[in-house]
Amino acid sequence: MGSLKRCGAAAAVAVGILALTGCGTAAGGGQAQTAMAQSEEPMFDPCDVPEDVLLAIGVDPASEERDILGVKQPGWSLCNWNDSPGISFLVTIFATGRPLEEILTNERFIDVTPIDLAGREAFTVRETSDTRNEHCDVVLAAGPDTLMLQTSLAKGLPPSESPCPRAIENARLLERSLPR
């Protein structure tokens, strides 16, 4: 059952990355043109979060998974952890060389809300595809990169509740491990 949940989470992450990277559009001569320019690879390795920070968040450091089912996504680095063995929530850090503004203006995001994260400009964002109220991302600039710190709740929440308070709490714990 755990691997089924893990595959489902990986599929959700894959769909999210594909939405952020853009799909090809037809250009003159039948060639595909990338909807968004390909960016440099990020400098920050999201799997470098210290074990004590992961434990403070409540995820198991041994559950670490890099990329999407081990496949590197161009222009992105990502790492996720869960609260094994029951997997009630997952924390994923996405890193990209794309500018913060490009991420925040992506049409897949709604409810872009500014927050203060230890003096850093940061935002919570929700995804238009999140019909089960499962995800909230905290998005911020970290050195030359943009990071998305996503908290995903396996069972979702009722419409009257938000996963963002948990995501903000996790981002506050992660903040000290992130580049400035």
Domain architecture of the chain: domains with CATH: 2-175 (3.40.1000)
Q: How confident is the model at residue 16 (pLDDT cuts 50, 70, 90)?
A: low
Looking at residue 10, what is its pLDDT? 46
Average pLDDT of the residues of the chain: 84
Exposure class string for 69-102: b at 16+ Cβ within 10 A, else e: eeeebebbbbbbbbbeeebebbbbbbbbbbebee
First to last CA, the chain: 39
CB 93 within 8 A of CB 78: yes
Would you say residue 117 has pLDDT above 70? yes
Please count the other Cβ atoms lying within 10 Å of the Cβ belonging to residue 116: 10
- Find where tokens 């059952």 sit: 1
Would you say residue 24 has pLDDT above 80? no
Q: Is the pTM of this model over 0.75?
A: yes
